[in-house]
Structure 1
Amino acid sequence: MTDRDALVFECALDAPPEKVWRALTIPEYLERWLKPAATVDMAVVTAEENRSLTYRWREAGQGAIVGMEDSLVTFELTPTGDGGTWFKLTHAPLAVPAAANSNGPRQTMALAA
């Protein structure tokens, strides 16, 4: 995986890091704010209170893309001078399958019956 494979979103929020942290860590708030699908399993990988939080994001079921079920979703919170938060979300796949027309080594995948 390279940085180019990650989806990055950044913005300023009109709330202090402590409030954003609560929205990311209290299950009821996280569900209302992030709204993960019922087929998504999330588990905390690393956490630095009010600063950084990484979830392992695992998709399952019919909507999952083969080879891309697992990824890491990292939230970085930086206080701003006006009492708000600079918010950075990075969603990075743990593995990126090779494209069918890739010149790289051929990868074989076993499909479940």
Structure 2
Amino acid sequence: MTSQEDALVFECALDAPPDKVWRALTVPDYLERWLTPAKAGAERIDLAVVTSEENRSLTYRWRESGQGAIVGTQDSMVTFEITPMRDGGTWFRLTHAPTVIPVAANANQGPMRMAA
């Protein structure tokens, strides 16, 4: 479960066909180059595929780790949605939402955020 209230959403048109965008999101070498910070000793991003619909949408569980990570950093879900455009390009939507753990109804408290 994610908190859509706290989600960050980014949308834009890309001058690349959906299959090329899909490869950039799913080929490990491409993804690593895109997500690996340039400076030495920076945090690492650990990803695990949660859902995938080829050439349409992809959701990763996202967790920062390493020297630069914040202690107690929570997991989040990052969803990439790609839609073909008439001009051959791609409409790209990225949603980054923190993970929320539901609390039992008898706990008398709101949902808790998942810690690493």
TM range (shorter): 0.7 to 0.9
Structure 2 unaligned residues grouped into runs of 5+? 102-108, 112-116
Q: Identify the residue that residue 85 of structure 1 maps to in structure 2.
A: 90
The TM-score normalised by the length of structure 1 is 0.75
How large is the RMSD of aligned CA atoms in angstroms? 2.7
Q: Identify the residue that residue 64 of structure 1 maps to in structure 2.
A: 70
Is 1:75 the counterpart of 2:80? The answer is yes
Identity across the alignment (%)? 67
Q: Identify the residue that residue 26 of structure 1 maps to in structure 2.
A: 27
Shift of 1:48: 0.4
Distance 1:78 1:106, change over 3 A: closer
The alignment covers a number of residue pairs equal to 100
Structure 1 unaligned residues grouped into runs of 5+? 97-104, 108-113
Shift of 1:40: 1.9
Q: Identify the residue that residue 8 of structure 2 maps to in structure 1.
A: 7
